[in-house]
Amino acid sequence: MARFHLAQQRARLATVPAAGATVSLGDCGSHCRGAEFLDGRGYRTLALEEAVEAVARRFDGFYFGRFDVRAASPEAFGRGEFTVIELNGVTSEATHIYDPKVGLLDAYRALFAQWSLAFEIGAANARAGAPVTLVRTLIRDTCSALLRVRP
């Protein structure tokens, strides 16, 4: 990632930030930009759960996903004081599985649990009359999309 960050920060490379100054290397965290994802489940509180539920209810038809958030501090986060910077739907995964302390089996358990929940939600929605995409249609549309993005 050094080449990427050096190119992005080229105009500031000769500048020394003041003590205590914050220097942003990018807009959002991602693996390809060197972000580290840690297990934050220890910050879970009733206030946090209620705040997340209140945000989720604003999106009709949103049953499963992940909010990427910012908070002033871990304590503020635990109180449910956060700003949503991104909403990821059913294809998102719990980012705690990328914590170096989380083992491979635990990561797979988390993924299988969320996929199971996603399929349960999908089945319930289908029983309630939601349209269902046939597997062959999904494969056809995916292949078409992949062919469109090729150079």
Quick: pLDDT tens for 20-78: 988 877 666 666 667 778 888 899 999 999 999 999 999 988 888 999 899 999 999 99
Q: Where are the domains of the chain?
A: 28-149
Q: How many Cβ atoms from other residues are within 10 Å of residue 80's Cβ?
A: 18
State the pLDDT confidence band at 147, using cuts at 50, 70 and 90: confident
Quote the tokens at residue 18. Answer: 């003041």
Summarize pLDDT for 122-143 with one digit per residue, the tens.
Answer: 999 999 999 999 999 989 998 9
Alpha-carbon distances of 111 from 55, 108, 124, rounded to whole Å? 23, 5, 20
**Is the pTM for the entire model greater than 0.75?**
no
